[in-house]
Amino acid sequence: MATQAKLTAAPRSTRGKGAARSLRRAGRVPAVIYGHHRSPEAIELDATALHRLLISIGGTATTIDVAIEGQAPVKALIREVQRNPVRPAELLHVDLYEVRADEAITVDVPVHLVGTADGVRLGGGMLDHVLHKITIEVLPGDIPDHIEVDVTPLGVGQQVSVRDLNVPKAKILTDLNQPVCMVTAPRTEAAATPAETAEPELIRKPKAEEGAAEE
């Protein structure tokens, strides 16, 4: 299941780009928390603590205990993280979505492939990872860190589809017919490299050569 994590926040009274830049210079990250029938609330987070949290949870849909100063802690998911496109380590803004333990939510969960497919090991095929995330409906406490797919039995021409996945206590919303991964046939030498063609026949000599021939 998803890892539990904690984050401390403070109410944010200032708005606008200038205020956001000032916050970031002070080592803070502007954020907003919304969801579960609550109005969006502007908050700020410690940049160092947030950076460490994001590293620890990776790309998983993790339920976070958010303690906002002066309020009772709530559980939330990180919906969006905005980063500086030039300096990705710089966090610009974070969206948090409050959840309740007894209410199912919709989340995207990463798909991890494990093992070496027989079609790759024995048949020289290529493993193509088509779908990296699937969408599920699940209670917050049952969100998996990831969905693991063992590709070892796959031969050349075989695939794993969404309908083949097992996600306990969750309803899969992604199209069940979508392929998750497949082993494609090995590329032949002719297909791998452009076919060699004969030197094209010179139908008409360049004028300079024509002149030289005439001379």
Instruction: Domains for the chain: give ranges and CATH numbers.
Output: 5-100 (2.40.240.10), 106-189 (2.170.120.20)
Predicted local confidence at residue 46, as pLDDT: 94
Confidence at 4, pLDDT banded by 50, 70, 90 = low
Confidence at 89, pLDDT banded by 50, 70, 90 = confident
Most confident of 2-16, 31-45, 84-98, 147-161: 147-161
Give the DSSP H/E element, type plus range, for residue 118.
Answer: helix 118-121
Residues 124-176: pLDDT tens digits? 999 999 999 999 999 998 999 899 999 999 999 999 999 999 999 999 999 99
Predicted local confidence at residue 199, as pLDDT: 53
- E strands, 38-178, where? 38-46, 63-68, 74-83, 91-99, 105-114, 126-129, 133-138, 147-150, 159-161, 170-172
Under 8 Å between Cβ of 9 and 72: no
Confidence at 37, pLDDT banded by 50, 70, 90 = confident
**pTM of the complete model:** 0.71
Residues 183-204: pLDDT tens digits? 999 876 544 445 554 555 544 5
